[in-house]
């Protein structure tokens, strides 16, 4: 038989009895409905037999729920029936009795509110302001005004104003002596000068001249030394370009 938790609907409405009915009244009403809706009363009509069978199964499920005192009490407490009175019985054979008290109130409907926002609805690309705008921009400054009072630099990025070098102005090209005295502040030769690196690792000078871009003066010094190495005919070992990531080098053993 269906359990109390799986029964859908109101068993009192199915048996047509009030929630305050006694067990004897519920049993008497079940017998009356069973006699009235028994499938044998269809007298061979298949459609009527199927209808009465479903109706009788529903009546029996409601009666099985209400005849069990424990299941009926739990149903009444859950649905707040029987006039708000609760009759507790042990839910199982463990001997623990549940407290006697009124059932919890039924949850009420949520409180909602409606706001009329139709006046704030505007069609797409519609003009929402009336009359001229109170905000006015600045007129363009002439070349004379810009020359007399140049505007301050604007912060175009979080690091501060952008200072751009004028086009056509080249960086200072150091002499060979100045280039050899330039110190390295990074890499494996940190603390050495470019002249010292050019003496024992000239390929590192080529790497600085063709790779480093953040220190323009250092790059110019490396290029001066690179030109001096080429002029003196110093042979450097050319580093082969490795294969793309994820591919093996067929020449490697």
With b for 16 or more beta-carbon neighbours within 10 A and e for fewer, the 154-174 pattern comes to eeeeeeeeeeeeeeeeeeeeb
Mean pLDDT in residue range 150-172: 59
Q: What is the pLDDT of residue 129?
A: 67
- pLDDT value at position 193? 92
Inform me whether the pLDDT recorded for 245 exceeds 70.
no
Which residue would you say has higher pLDDT here, 32 or 7? 32
Give the residue-averaged pLDDT of 21-39. Answer: 89
What's the pTM?
0.33
φ and ψ at residue 6, rounded to 5 degrees: -100, -5
Residue 181 pLDDT: 92
How distant, in Å, are the alpha carbons of 10, 89, 139, 202, 230 from that of 103? 17, 14, 77, 92, 99
CA separation for the pair 112, 121 (Å, rounded): 22
Nearest to 12 by CA among 71, 77, 82: 82
Question: According to DSSP H, which parts of 37-149 are helical?
Answer: 46-67, 69-79, 143-148
What the block records as the tokens of 146 is 């810009």
Q: Above 70 in pLDDT, residue 251?
A: no
CA-CA distance, 36 to 29, in Å (whole number)? 11
What Rg value do the Cα atoms of the chain yield, rounded? 48
8 A C-beta contact, residue 185 and residue 199: no
The residues, ordered by sequence, that sit 6+ positions from 141 with a Cβ below 8 Å of its Cβ are 151
Architecture of domain 11-84: Orthogonal Bundle (1.10)
CB atoms within 10 A of CB 71: 19
Structure confidence at residue 28 (pLDDT): 92
Q: 222 and 233 in contact (C-beta within 8 Å)?
A: no
DSSP state, 105? Answer: P
In eight-state DSSP terms, residue 171 is P
Residue 154 has pLDDT above 70, yes or no: no
DSSP 8-class letter at 42: G
For the chain, what are the domain ranges?
A: 11-84, 176-232
In three-state secondary structure terms, 235 is coil
* Per-residue confidence (pLDDT) for residue 185, from 0 to 100: 87
Mean pLDDT of the region 176-205: 89
pLDDT at 81 over 70: no
pLDDT digits (tens, 9 = 90+) for 210-219: 887 778 888 8
């Amino acid at each position: 038989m269906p359990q109390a938790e799986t029964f859908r609907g109101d068993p009192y409405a199915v048996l047509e009895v009030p929630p305050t009915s006694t067990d004897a009244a519920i049993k008497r009403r079940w017998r009356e409905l069973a006699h009235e809706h028994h499938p044998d009363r269809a007298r061979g009509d298949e459609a009527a037999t199927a209808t009465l069978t479903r109706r009788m199964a529903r009546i029996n499920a409601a009666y099985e729920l209400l005849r069990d005192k424990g299941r009926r009490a739990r149903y009444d407490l859950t649905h707040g029936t029987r006039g708000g009175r609760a009759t507790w019985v042990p839910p199982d054979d463990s001997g623990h009795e549940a407290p006697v008290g009124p059932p919890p109130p039924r949850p009420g409907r949520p409180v909602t509110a409606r706001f009329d926002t139709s006046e704030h609805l505007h069609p797409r690309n519609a003009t929402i302001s009336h009359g001229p705008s109170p905000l006015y921009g600045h007129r363009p400054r002439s070349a004379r005004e810009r020359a007399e009072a140049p505007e301050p630099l604007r912060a175009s990025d979080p690091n501060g104003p952008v200072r751009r070098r004028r086009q056509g102005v080249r960086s200072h090209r150091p002499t060979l002596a100045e280039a050899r005295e330039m110190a390295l502040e990074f890499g494996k030769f940190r603390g050495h000068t470019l002249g010292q690196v050019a003496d024992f690792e000239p390929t590192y000078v080529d790497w600085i001249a063709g790779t480093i871009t953040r220190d323009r003066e250092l790059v110019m010094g490396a290029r001066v030394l690179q030109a001096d190495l080429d002029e003196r005919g110093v042979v450097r070992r050319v580093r082969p370009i490795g294969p793309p990531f994820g591919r093996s080098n067929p020449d490697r053993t």
